[in-house]
Structure 1
Amino acid sequence: MTAPRCTHTVEGWNGVSLYVPEYGNANGIPVILVHGWSQAHQSWARQFSGPLADHCRLIVPDLRGHGLSDKPADAEAYNNSAPWAGDLHAIIETLGLERPLLIGWSMGGWVVQDYLRVHGDGNISGFSLIGSSGSTGRYSPVAALGQRENDTAVRASDMYEEELGANLAATLAFLKACFATLPDADDLAIMTGFNMLCPPHVRLAARKRHEDYGPDLAKTSVPALVQWGIHERLAVSPMPEKTVEALPNGRAIKYTDSGHAPFWEETEAFNADLLTFAQTCYAKDSHL
């Protein structure tokens, strides 16, 4: 595994301690990579080297309740926009990031949209939502909700349980559902390990939200991407398509050989797309 270039401890919303490692070029374009539900910063391991890392300063926090960050007990620390938005704002301010890009995978895309809801897009250069959606819970498209509810691995009910055997089995099944082509056994073992750092109470409060981000996306003016694999089992159609439609400056990129994690399954293409997007955003950004 690639070691971080440096690490930070950032005081997030309501005093929560956040573990924030950095990779890549210290003088490069600042990019915050926001992992998904029950994951950790190592989800982005395939972005930590190569041309993307050569040109970008990659800030890769463990979200509250995940990885090596603090894990408050109260549901209110996870079930609304304020904590997530406050944490991203604290990272930007503490590290002195000048108009970074926000890149959110799955639930991490909700976190990016929480930031947009609370703080707007005036201090960022662009954002991307990967395998994510502009609505959650009861606001999601009915057809997508039905498909997800009928997929036991995606529903992942036992990931909310304290009983370890059922929890582990559900976590492994959920991870397998994220990929069209499974990672090798060692990578899957590592992923299962860092997923188990997220306690059941965090998983429940963070995922069971009801949010309509459409009005927040409609207010954005910076460039935006919506990226997804055509073999999705989580952000299923028409979730990504409707998200693109909500964006004034949005563009879709589909990956033909990927499921929920194109940054892992089609790493070279994804990294090239993200680097081009980052460079384009900075070239267009009149503040820089």
Structure 2
Amino acid sequence: MSGQVGRFVTSKDGTKIWAEDGGNKAGIPVVFIHGLSCTGHAWDKQFGDKKLLEHLHLVRYELRGHARSDYPMTEDFYTQEKYAEDFMAVIESFGLKKPFACAWSLGAATVCDVAQVFGPDVIAGTIFSGGPVMTLDHHKEWIHNELKTNLPSFLSHDGDLLPIAANVFVDSCLKHPQRDLPFEARVKWLGGFLMQPPTVRTYTFLRGQKWDRWEKEFTRTPHLLIQGQDDKHSETMRVLPLIKKVIPDIEIKLVDDIGHSPCWEVPELHNAYLLEFVQRISGHDQ
């Protein structure tokens, strides 16, 4: 895989958002949105997949307050409107027309933001790639007890505690972290957590969010959930009935023996589900 150069996209408020594309520019557009305290590297196994690169135009970006994007330090920069504007700036920069969104964990909240602020016709369909924060309110109904217990340390400002919290956080993202996260990759994941100021992490996780328009107008669009049976961020057995109640037609792929990160833990299976879904919905079945 070539070096990740990417570009900086300027959002409406002037915040610089790092983004990168790959694959077939004439293919089906899919935007990948990472989770809390993570980076675009979460999608390395999608951006290195030959079939996805052949058929899809892949775009990934890093949320404001994360990784290579800007880190505004006041709460007014972390609102629903700002996250939606970032998404719009990215798709406009790459010339995408009604892309799919593949969103992991807290990244899923951005899908709601876009539909709530800009309406239901921006995104063609959604792939929830593990432990979705479908909305911030709904997530409270299925947050895993382990994540709830660890949240105070994850949001701590104690410099001596943060390296410990970072390791706990990274381990909690996978069922078998020692097997599935070699040291070089682990350092990238740890870096994503540690380079984020705790103040920004708090603004990101505890922000407000409206979702009435999203529920009324967007939940009828195609959705796919790829969910690990042993997710330690979202309680899978609570996620399934609740998400079906809100999005009755959502397709669900439940995967055994993995945790919060199906895009990383079982990339071949994850990518096959993703590709089949977007091709079928787009009418580009192969």
| TM-score > 0.5, shorter chain as reference | yes
User: Aligned partners of 1:64 and 1:149: how far apart in 2?
Assistant: 22
Q: Which residue of 2 aligns with 1:160?
A: 155
User: Aligned partners of 1:149 and 1:100: how far apart in 2?
Assistant: 31
2:9 is paired with a residue of what secondary structure? strand
Instruction: Calculate percent identity across the aligned residue pairs.
Output: 25
4+ residue runs over 6 A deviation:
none
2:6 is paired with a residue of what secondary structure? strand
For each residue in 1:223-282, what CA deviation from the matched residue of structure 2 results, as whole angstroms up to 9, or x when unmatched?
111221010111213134312321254211111121100011111000001111111121
Q: Which residue of 2 aligns with 1:14?
A: 13
Which residue identity does 1:234 align to in structure 2?
H
Q: Which residue of 2 aligns with 1:74?
A: 74
User: Aligned partners of 1:269 and 1:149: how far apart in 2?
Assistant: 26
Q: Which residue of 2 aligns with 1:282?
A: 282
1:122 is paired with a residue of what secondary structure? coil
Contact kept, 8 Å, 2:115 with 2:213, in 1: the verdict is: no
1:238 is paired with a residue of what secondary structure? helix
Q: Which residue of 1 aligns with 2:29?
A: 30
Q: Measured at CA, do residues 127 and 146 of structure 1 come closer, stay the same or move farther in structure 2, by a change above 3 Å?
A: closer
2:3 is paired with a residue of what secondary structure? coil
Contact kept, 8 Å, 2:108 with 2:135, in 1: the verdict is: no
Q: Which residue of 2 aligns with 1:94?
A: 93
**Which one of 185, 195, 211 corresponds to residue 183 of structure 2?**
185
Report whether the alignment pairs 1:104 with 2:99: no
Give the CA deviation at 1:173: 0.3
Q: Which residue of 1 aligns with 2:264?
A: 264
Give the CA deviation at 1:25: 2.1
Contact kept, 8 Å, 2:80 with 2:209, in 1: the verdict is: no
User: Aligned partners of 1:138 and 1:36: how far apart in 2?
Assistant: 16
Which residue identity does 2:123 align to in structure 1?
I
Q: Which residue of 1 aligns with 2:116?
A: 117
Unaligned runs of 5+ in 2: none
For each residue in 1:66-86, what CA deviation from the matched residue of structure 2 results, as whole angstroms up to 9, or x when unmatched?
1111111111212x3111111
**Which one of 149, 171, 182 corresponds to residue 151 of structure 1?**
149
User: Aligned partners of 1:211 and 1:129: how far apart in 2?
Assistant: 18
Q: Which residue of 2 aligns with 1:176?
A: 171
User: Aligned partners of 1:260 and 1:168: how far apart in 2?
Assistant: 21
2:207 is paired with a residue of what secondary structure? coil
Give the CA deviation at 1:149: 5.8
User: Aligned partners of 1:137 and 1:194: how far apart in 2?
Assistant: 25
User: Aligned partners of 1:169 and 1:158: how far apart in 2?
Assistant: 9
Contact kept, 8 Å, 1:161 with 1:167, in 2: the verdict is: yes
Q: Which residue of 2 aligns with 1:40?
A: 39
Q: Which residue of 1 aligns with 2:206?
A: 208
**For the aligned residues, what is the CA RMSD?**
2.2
User: Aligned partners of 2:70 and 2:148: how far apart in 1?
Assistant: 33
Q: Measured at CA, do residues 42 and 66 of structure 1 come closer, stay the same or move farther in structure 2, by a change above 3 Å?
A: same
Aligned residues between the structures: 277
Q: Measured at CA, do residues 197 and 27 of structure 1 come closer, stay the same or move farther in structure 2, by a change above 3 Å?
A: farther
